[in-house]
Structure 1
Amino acid sequence: ALDYILRGRAAKYRPTSAENYAEAVSSFERALELDPQSPDAQLGLAQVLIGRVLDFPSSSAAADIDRADELANRALAAAPRSAWAHVVKGQVLRGQRRCAEAISEYETALSLDHNWAGALADIGRCKIRIGPIEEAIPLLEQAIRLSPRDPIPGIWYFRIGEAHLLQSHIDDAILWFEKGERALTTWHALRGLLASAYALKGDNERAAAELAEARKLNGEGYSWQSIARIRAGTRYETPAVRALAEATFFEGLRRAGVPEE
């Protein structure tokens, strides 16, 4: 089982893509078949299942969330003081659009392991979803300082850019998106938000190029084809944050040429 666990982790830490998620899921599934009680296999599989839901929405999302929740609960029951188990449970709650509860799980993880940079970053992600958005950036920056060599810093750069975009700090958003783009060359979401930011800046040529790349990379999902479809796939949970998204993210997409329906 250990060999498949290591393969799953290796795939998880490669650049974010649907293909790498599929490889990670397959490896952790095989590990769990060989050792059904392995917490590393349980939590590894739960983490990549919920990560796939969050990053690449698809028709399997509901089933993936249910499976990840069941695995996280099993791991927590066996090891209630596992920081990793609480982080994964938080990710499941985030996938269920329950960020307030997810923050409690991440805070529990930090009480068990003060240096868990990912838990700090995930609290920042939730602040972007429910507010106050201005609290997100210091948390994400702290995570980067705490773990500068983390395999996935590009995602944290992207989230800082998203927080700036929602606050209409367009130049700052572009700076952080471009920094993240160097590490996340295959992630559709970054390209889509960067398209929005470029359009808000008035750089229509770059906006069109990034939008085309987002559509090419996404595959199955909301595909960046219409505002309605993209809106349905986003995870902004409160009316205040949704209003900010309408005025910034979605307005930029409209200017980039994305139709309403």
Structure 2
Amino acid sequence: MLPFTNLSGDPGQDYFAHGRPDNRSLANSGQLRIARNTAFTYKGKSIDARQIGRELGVRFALEGSVQRVGDQVRVNAQLIDTETGGHVWSDRFDRLRSNYLELQDDITGRIARTLGLELVVLAARSIELEHQTNPTASDLALQGWAAVYKPTTPETREEARRLFEHALEIDPHTLRAMTGLSLTLANLVINGQSPDPAGDLSRADELSQQAVGLDPNNAAAHALRARALQAQRRQKEAAEQYRISLQINGNIATTTLFLGETFVFTGKSLDAIPLFDRAIELSPRDPGLGTWQFEMGRAMILLRRDDEALTWLSRSVATNPRLAYGQLYYAAIMAIKDDIAAARAALAAAGRLNPNYTSLAKFRATDLSDDPAYVEQRAYVEGALRKAGLPEQ
């Protein structure tokens, strides 16, 4: 990561550009390889990215600029391929400078999430293009995570599962494959797409415990342990694991989102909304955005804030129409809004995508919480689904 350029026209603002995102969020992402002091030797120099790659032995360089005008701050960041000199990714961040440290954390979180996604997908694509006949466990784990980062469908989950399974056949102690397979199995169970829910849930639980044992200071390991606990309806224990993860790295968008989900499942949807806002702010173009919009929409409908629920659930099904739970809750809100034709169409789509959404009994049996406060809120959704035509059995 190179020093960001100060475009403010005031040398006195150099401190802001030099206090660039270089904290533990990026360090923990596993992508930051060159120390801050080394990178600063390039400050103020116009050097080709390919030269930097040769001199530092890095494949990618992150550069950018900071411009502050009054209380408004604009940060531009670009990821450069040092082999070709070409731009791989770029983004812009506009924020009010209300608090310098909070602003740094905000920008850092977004860059860390997006940078991690871009590098994983790029590296996986490189492996595929090289047609490796003997990929390593790490190669396969990387390809598995690239599948996880695709927009969520049953096919991408199965692709991820296959790659993680293959990686662990080669090396059973590959942490990235362990966490990836644990997440994938938990999500298959949660979404009614597992051919063996009990077996997959047991394996997800075992893998997640092993991952935390191998690296107790790994934020992702704790977050994915939490996901396995959620799949077992152990929402309060999951929340504690998400909190531990965020103590290690406070700017992981997905962890923030799923901590909010544990609040929803314990009847605290109002408390979940700021966490969902934060997750979307950290990664507004995330491949999982449809799910994130659904989470917000579900919280709103449980709180009976129907207009806001309609807005968010409409966004969710538009972003990813193959999300079964998005279609189910969209059916509910359309029934509440008395658009029965749209409700029935969405209900049919939900049932095609997830067989657990073909009756109220199956929906209740596979939902992730039996917390009394949550169940009481969910009754409003059940009534709407009944109105849309979902049978009891």
What corresponds to 1:254 in structure 2?
386
Give the counterpart letter for 2:375 in structure 1.
R
Give the counterpart letter for 2:206 in structure 1.
E
Structure exhibiting the larger radius of gyration computed from Cα positions: 2
Give the counterpart letter for 1:125 in structure 2.
E
What corresponds to 1:226 in structure 2?
359
Q: Which has the higher strand share?
A: 2
SS of residue matched to 2:374: helix
The counterpart of 2:199, out of the listed 58, 63, 68, is 63
CA contact (8 A) 2:194 2:200 kept: no
Task: Report the CA distance between 1:57 and its aligned residue.
Answer: 5.0
After TM superposition, the score normalised by the length of structure 1 is: 0.94
Task: Report the CA distance between 1:149 and its aligned residue.
Answer: 3.0
CA contact (8 A) 2:303 2:377 kept: yes
What corresponds to 1:152 in structure 2?
288
What corresponds to 2:311 in structure 1?
175
C-alpha separation between the residues in 2 aligned to 1:25 and 1:59?
Answer: 13
What corresponds to 2:299 in structure 1?
163
Give the counterpart letter for 1:239 in structure 2.
P
CA contact (8 A) 2:291 2:323 kept: no
The counterpart of 2:147, out of the listed 11, 25, 32, is 11
Structure 1 residue runs of 5 or longer lacking an equivalent are none
Task: Report the CA distance between 1:14 and its aligned residue.
Answer: 2.0
C-alpha separation between the residues in 2 aligned to 1:97 and 1:151?
Answer: 26
Q: Deviations over 1:145-183 (max 9, x none)?
A: 122232212211100000011111112111101111222
After the TM superposition, which residues 95-244 of structure 1 pair with which residues of structure 2 at under 5 Å, given as runs? 95-218=231-354, 221-222=355-356, 224-244=357-377
Q: Which structure is richer in relative contact order (CA contacts within 8 A, separation 6 or more)?
A: 1
What corresponds to 1:92 in structure 2?
228
Task: Report the CA distance between 1:67 and its aligned residue.
Answer: 0.4
Say whether 1:80 aligns with 2:216. Answer: yes
Give the counterpart letter for 1:129 in structure 2.
F
C-alpha separation between the residues in 2 aligned to 1:12 and 1:31?
Answer: 15
C-alpha separation between the residues in 2 aligned to 1:232 and 1:69?
Answer: 20
Give the counterpart letter for 2:139 in structure 1.
D
CA contact (8 A) 1:15 1:183 kept: no
C-alpha separation between the residues in 2 aligned to 1:37 and 1:212?
Answer: 42
* CA separation of 1:214 and 1:160: change in aligned 2, threshold 3 A: same
Task: Report the CA distance between 1:106 and its aligned residue.
Answer: 0.5
SS of residue matched to 2:294: helix
CA contact (8 A) 1:15 1:186 kept: no
* CA separation of 1:225 and 1:150: change in aligned 2, threshold 3 A: closer
Q: Deviations over 1:50-104 (max 9, x none)?
A: 1111122545111111101111111111111100100011101111111111111
What corresponds to 1:41 in structure 2?
177
Which has the higher mean CA deviation after the structures are superposed, 9-18 or 150-159?
A: 9-18
Give the counterpart letter for 2:222 in structure 1.
H
After TM superposition, the score normalised by the length of structure 2 is: 0.63
* CA separation of 1:59 and 1:5: change in aligned 2, threshold 3 A: closer
Q: Which has the higher helix share?
A: 1
CA contact (8 A) 1:17 1:187 kept: yes
Give the counterpart letter for 2:376 in structure 1.
A
CA contact (8 A) 2:138 2:174 kept: no
Structure 2 residue runs of 5 or longer lacking an equivalent are 1-136
What corresponds to 1:2 in structure 2?
138
The counterpart of 2:378, out of the listed 233, 245, 248, is 245
CA contact (8 A) 1:99 1:129 kept: yes
Give the counterpart letter for 1:259 in structure 2.
P
